[in-house]
Chain A
Amino acid sequence: MAEERHEDFPAPGTGIIIIIFFVAFIMFYFLNWKWLSMVWNIG
Chain B
Amino acid sequence: MAANEMEFRTCPITGKKVYATTQNLMWINAVTAVVFILIGGIMALLVALTRLPAVHLLSPEWFYKALTAHGLNMLVFWIIFFEVAGLYFGSSVLLNSRLAAPKVAWLAYILMLVGSVLVDVMVFTDNATVMFSSYVPLQAHPLYYLGIILFAVGALTACGIFFGTLAIAKADKTYEGSLPLVTFGLSAAAIIAVFTLACGAIIYIPTFLWSLGVIKNLDPAMYRLIFWGFGHSSQQINVTAMVSIWYLLGALTVGAKPVNEKICRSAFVLYILFINLASEHHLLTDPTLSPAHKIWNTGYFMYMAVLASMIHALAIPMAVEVAQRKKGYTKGLFEWLTKAPWGEPGFPAMIFSLLIFGFIGGITGVVYGTEQLSIKSHNTWALTGHFHATVVGGTTLAFMGLTYYVIPLIFRREIIGKKWASAQPYVYAIGLILLILGMSGAGILGSPRRHWDVTFADSIIPFSFDPTVLLFTTIAALGGILAAVGGAMYVGVSVLSVFLGRKLAPNEAKLVY
Interface residues of A (CB under 8 A from B): 1-4, 6, 10-14, 16-18, 21, 24-25, 28-29, 32-33, 35-36, 39-40
Contact = CB atoms under 8 A, between A and B. Distances in A.
* Shortest beta-carbon contacts, A-B, top 10: A11-B321, A11-B318, A14-B318, A13-B333, A3-B261, A1-B181, A14-B317, A36-B376, A25-B363, A32-B373
A33 B371 CA distance: 12
Interface in B368-415: 368, 370, 372-373, 375-377
Interface in B297-331: 314, 317-319, 321-322, 325
Interface in B320-357: 321-322, 325, 333-334, 336-337
Contacts of B247: 1
Nearest to B182: A1
Contacts, number: 79
29 contacts: A1-B180, A1-B257, A1-B258, A1-B261, A2-B257, A3-B257, A3-B261, A4-B259, A4-B319, A10-B321, A11-B317, A12-B333, A13-B321, A13-B334, A13-B337, A14-B318, A16-B334, A17-B317, A18-B314, A21-B358, A24-B363, A25-B363, A25-B366, A28-B367, A29-B366, A32-B370, A36-B373, A36-B376, A39-B376
Nearest to B334: A13
Interface in B162-176: none
A6 B322 contact: yes
A14 B355 CA distance: 12
Contact of B259 (A10, A17, A36): A10
B444 interface: yes
Nearest to B354: A17
Nearest to B336: A13
> What is the interface of chain B mostly: helix, strand, loop, or mixed?
helix
B358 A3 contact: no
Contacts of B181: 1
B364 interface: yes
A25 to B, nearest CB: 5
A6 B257 contact: no
Interface residues of B, number: 36
B376 A32 contact: yes
Contacts of B372: 36
A35 B376 contact: yes
A36 B317 CA distance: 34
B251 interface: yes
Contact of B359 (A1, A21, A35, A36): A21
Nearest to B251: A1
B304 to A, nearest CB: 17
B260 interface: yes
A28 B360 CA distance: 10
A16 to B, nearest CB: 6
Given A14-B318, A36-B372, A3 B259 contact: yes
Which interface residue of A25, A33, A39 has the most chain B CB atoms within 10 A? A25
B367 A29 contact: yes
A33 to B, nearest CB: 7
B364 A28 contact: yes
B313 to A, nearest CB: 8
A28 B319 CA distance: 28
Nearest to B355: A17
A24 B359 contact: yes
A1 B251 CA distance: 9
Contacts of B333: 12-13, 16
Interface in B134-151: none
Contact of B444 (A6, A35, A40): A35
A28 B444 CA distance: 12
